[in-house]
Chain A
Amino acid sequence: MSRLHCPFCGPRELREFRFHKTLPTEPGTAFAGIYERIDNPELSVEHWQHVEGCRGWLRVTRNPSSGAVLETRLLGGGVA
């Protein structure tokens, strides 16, 4: 993975983005969300911000083993 496809800005270099793990969404799930995460080598859901572009937060689904980006969506509007 060396590029992400920003819904606003199109395909952009990875260095324009900043990584963040996903956030726990339900109240009461913070501990599990932070300390009990189970990594899947084939599937990772991540949040990336286009920090040197439109500043949009993206939800990126990718396969860390192959480096393939499976899906990129804009966060917000019910997507978490």
Chain B
Amino acid sequence: MSTIVRRGTRVQEGQIRFHYDGREYFGQPGDTAASALLAQGVRHFGRSVKYRRLRGVMAAGSEEPNALLTVGTRPAVIPNVPAPRLTLHEGLVLRSQNRWPTLSVDLASLLQIGGGFFGAGFYYKTFMWPNWRTYEPIIRRLAGLGEAPGACELPPVAVENCSCDVLVAGAGAAGLAAARAAARAGATVVLCEREPVCGGELEFEGGTIEGRESLNWVAATLTELAGLGARVLTDTDLVGGSDGQVVLHRQRGGIAGADTLYRVRPRSVVIATGAVERPIAFIDNDRPGVMLLGAAECYLARYGVRVGREAVLFANHDRVYAAAARLAAGGMQVRAIVDTRSASTGVGNSLRAELERTGTQCLSGHAVIAVEGGREVRAVRVAPLAGSGPERRIVCNVLLQSGGWSPNTQSGAQDGGAREYSPGLAAFVAAEQPLWRAFAGTANGRLELCDVLADGQIAGEHAARQAGCATGAGAGAVTAIDARGDGAPRLVAFWRSPSPPQLEKKQFIDLQNDVTVADLRTALAEGFSDIEHVKRYTTLGIGTEQGATSAVLGAAILAELKGVPPGAVGISRPRAPFAPVTMQSLAGLRVGSAFRISRRTPLHAWHAAHGGVLESSGLWLRPRYYLANGPDAFTAGIAEARRVRATGGIVDGSTLGKIEVAGPDAAVFLDSMYLSKASTIKAGRGKYMVNLREDGMVLDDGLVLRLAPDRFVATTSSGHADHMLSHFEHYRDTQWNGRAVTLTDVTEAWAVIAVAGPQSRATLQRVLGSAWHEILTRLEHMGFADGHFQGRDLRVLRASFSGELAFELHCRPGIAVTLWQTLNDAGLGPYGLEALDILRVEKGYLVSSELNGETTPHDLLMDGLVKLGNPCLGRELLDRPGLHKPARPRLVGVRARDGRSKFLAGAQLCTENERTHPVGYVTSAVFSPTLDQWIGLALLARRLGEDTQLLARDPLRGGDTPLRIVPAVHFDPTGERMKQ
């Protein structure tokens, strides 16, 4: 337990208890997991993903490549949370990743000792015999970052949609100046900052702005912004943005209910996301204790944490001297500053003499070439870059490096925005941007404080003007901001230290994916030369940090290896998210039962109360069978189907789609949409109709009822009404434009109860009342009549989907339960989808298994409908010769040759002679209680004769079943039962 109270801009006095890898630790309010653990001497935060090398913290922000922790306890875990981004709270449980069984002793890391390194393409090349699948399960266990959450209930993440005139991303110096300028011009402003507090580098850089100390300027600016109504979101990442929408993610890892996903619609955007400090590649530059210089400054200023006792600083610019002075003032011993620039460049820095006086060795024209120490830094080896000087060994326990800064331009480049290399910066900056988006400050390549502020202010003014707010008070009053900061860095590009070729495999570029200089060399040697190819072959920059620290370094070293100037190979296109986002946040509130809507029929409650076992059918919930009829679908389905054929039954058909088609041109409109004509239907009658897609394939089938000369109801398959309505509307508004037709989805206006079986008419005559008695006797097949039941609308249609005498009752939803209960009480028991399927397969009726979008009317034995010659939609392409070849399928019935064996839908059909080349497949198969055997429908190549001996091959489920071909209508082929 820590006894010294640390002081910093972010930590307060107090104590927070948390657990890391099973041990108890303490932090102060405001600490992150990284700062609290570093303060207590923890150096190891995980192992690397490929080589399992021990890794520590390198950075102080979300660019952290290695210190990724798993938050929470199984199964409710959040993996890959960067330790520097994880604000502590009481009781937090954290685990390191990529190690087994413990961080200290990891078995997989022995691979590294035994077998050397896996270079780029190692997996592709090594695990090829006999095939990749042999090795995949083992490799998968060792591979990957972190652990996915198990099945558990995580609190849903709130999603907020909002809009504003100007969105400013990043609340450092530039972002604050931009937000202030935009707000002063009258714009509504949203300012987001990924850190818990605003200020960016002003937090530790010192300096003055507009006559105030910079931290006071930050506070004053925030106060002014609040007064102007600007909204400031801290802990909020810019996830990505394109086409006028920007996604922000507020995350406080591990605190339930604290996350929010914002979808912002700004009129214009200022991206002031700063820059990421870049590492330098040298031998063993991944050891715990090798950190970014700016990160060390952050930990000291924000949390009062000294990341090491004795530091060596390694950089290629002037800023290292100011940083060294601040670290020394904070109590760290700076043993040496290794400056890669030749002596003449760095001379003149007044800080240097002062540092040397207090014991810091300043080496110009030198580079750190290697780190000593396996579990943490013990010393560094330094050598002159030119000429032959002595190699030195400098003892230290932390190496702080800075190879320059890479502007965070990712969020502007995800939509294809170009970036160009800036030699003065040795990094890429955003090139030409759309008018609504501007980069500002360090993100725009500005490094000096007054430039950063001015750039932010100009960008803010511009954004407000773009948003149409230039008329507000203060518009146009761009005043120079007076500021004093660290001064020009005078950076000279330096990417990697010299190394013998055999040790380039220890010069790490991407620490998260273990990509080294040797990997880039391998990729080039093997012909991967484009940066995008190299990225995918080596995995450079693909992890949670999306190349934040590695993309520019990798591109520059690739250029060096190719012998071209840095920037000549370009930089890979970044992809959202810029910072890791949990899938839970993307799902938002659409989890669990809210994942998608489910539709319930008016009879839903009855089914549920009477043992109906419900099943999803599209969005609809429908009873598959009723428990009263059997313990499982198979048994109950057979019992229900048998009862329909013996006496009768009722089934809920409310899901049937119904589209009312009305208007003077209704008949002619339907004629053009269906294979047969609707205009020949008499009022009071219906007709089975089929419609086609543009390419001639069957789209849907259903009954079309003519209510009046200018009024029809077209029924569609369950769940198709929405699509069919769109389809009709599309054609009405384009092809058949000008036809006077209205289209209305009346699916939910009518509940449908289908009554089937020999006793259906008699039962209906008993329960519907005397007014219906005569009508029911008289009603012919496909005839319907409108009337009333208990004073409410009732339409009775004589139509059958079971092959039995049957009626469809279309009634208002409000009386559906009463009508259903009445029928049930009169002896017609309910049946479900399972029985429905048995009955329709027995009769060779079609459902989506046969109407599968790949079948023509000819395939489905509807030649008669085509011969009618109605020039409807899709008719033109039916004549394509390819649709009439002998290899085209045709609907047939199939049964087991032995009359007993089972076969299932999906089984491939082969002939006895050609057992490896399917000639068709089984589309539907049921056990028919009526025929006492398994029967099916199949699509089979036309060329095969009716006596072909078939084999249903189903190797994964049931092996082979010999089949014979029978007519598609298995039962009552002449339809006698329907005609009763």
The chain A residues found within 8 Å of chain B, CB to CB, are 1-3, 18, 20, 23-25, 27-28, 30-31, 33-34, 47, 49, 51, 55-57, 65-67, 75-78, 80
Q: B729–A30 contact, CB under 8 A?
A: no
Q: A28–B876 contact, CB under 8 A?
A: yes
The chain B residues found within 8 Å of chain A, CB to CB, are 242-245, 265, 415-416, 694-695, 722, 726, 729-731, 733-735, 737, 876-877, 880
Q: B737–A49 contact, CB under 8 A?
A: no
What is the minimal beta-carbon distance from B239 to any residue of chain A, in angstroms? 14
Q: A76–B733 contact, CB under 8 A?
A: yes
- Residue in B closest to A1 when the chains form the complex, CB atoms: B243
Query: Of A2, A3, A25, A65, which is within 8 A of B734 by CB?
Result: A25
A20 to B695, alpha carbons, bound, how many Å? 14
- Residue in A closest to B727 when the chains form the complex, CB atoms: A20
Q: B731–A23 contact, CB under 8 A?
A: yes
Contact A67 to B243, CB < 8 A, known contacts A78-B737, A80-B734: yes
What is the minimal beta-carbon distance from A75 to any residue of chain B, in angstroms? 5
Q: A24 — which chain B residues lie within 8 A by C-beta?
A: 694
Query: Of B242, B415, B730, which is within 8 A of A49 by CB?
Result: B730
A47 to B694, alpha carbons, bound, how many Å? 15
What is the minimal beta-carbon distance from A28 to any residue of chain B, in angstroms? 7
Q: B243 — which chain A residues lie within 8 A by C-beta?
A: 1-3, 67
- Residue in B closest to A33 when the chains form the complex, CB atoms: B694
Query: Which 7 A-B pairs give the minimum distances between C-beta atoms?
Result: A57-B733, A76-B733, A75-B733, A30-B876, A2-B245, A2-B243, A67-B243
Contact A49 to B726, CB < 8 A, known contacts A25-B735, A67-B415, A75-B734: yes
List 20 A–B pairs whose Cβ atoms lie within 8 Å, in order of A's numbering.
Answer: A2-B243, A3-B244, A23-B731, A23-B734, A27-B876, A28-B876, A31-B876, A34-B695, A47-B730, A47-B734, A51-B726, A55-B729, A56-B733, A57-B730, A67-B243, A67-B415, A76-B734, A76-B737, A77-B737, A80-B735
Q: A49 — which chain B residues lie within 8 A by C-beta?
A: 726, 729-730
A75 to B736, alpha carbons, bound, how many Å? 11
Q: B265 — which chain A residues lie within 8 A by C-beta?
A: 3
Q: B876–A57 contact, CB under 8 A?
A: no
- Residue in B closest to A57 when the chains form the complex, CB atoms: B733
Q: A20 — which chain B residues lie within 8 A by C-beta?
A: 726, 730
Q: A27 — which chain B residues lie within 8 A by C-beta?
A: 876
A65 to B731, alpha carbons, bound, how many Å? 29
Query: Of B244, B416, B730, which is within 8 A of A2 by CB?
Result: B244
What is the minimal beta-carbon distance from B440 to any residue of chain A, in angstroms? 23
Q: B695 — which chain A residues lie within 8 A by C-beta?
A: 30, 34
Supplied contacts A30-B876, A76-B737, 13 more A-B pairs, CB within 8 Å: A2-B243, A3-B265, A23-B694, A24-B694, A28-B876, A31-B880, A34-B694, A47-B730, A51-B722, A57-B729, A76-B733, A80-B734, A80-B737
A20 to B730, alpha carbons, bound, how many Å? 9
What is the minimal beta-carbon distance from B160 to any residue of chain A, in angstroms? 14
A3 to B415, alpha carbons, bound, how many Å? 15
Q: A78 — which chain B residues lie within 8 A by C-beta?
A: 737
Contact A31 to B734, CB < 8 A, known contacts A67-B242, A67-B243: no
Residue picked from B243, B244, B734, B877, most chain A C-beta under 10 Å: B734
Contact A31 to B730, CB < 8 A, known contacts A2-B243, A25-B735, A76-B737: no
What is the minimal beta-carbon distance from A39 to any residue of chain B, in angstroms? 18
- Residue in A closest to B696 when the chains form the complex, CB atoms: A30
Query: Of A23, A31, A55, which is within 8 A of B735 by CB?
Result: A23
- Residue in B closest to A74 when the chains form the complex, CB atoms: B733
Q: B877–A34 contact, CB under 8 A?
A: yes
What is the minimal beta-carbon distance from B946 to any residue of chain A, in angstroms? 34
Q: A56 — which chain B residues lie within 8 A by C-beta?
A: 733
Q: B726–A31 contact, CB under 8 A?
A: no
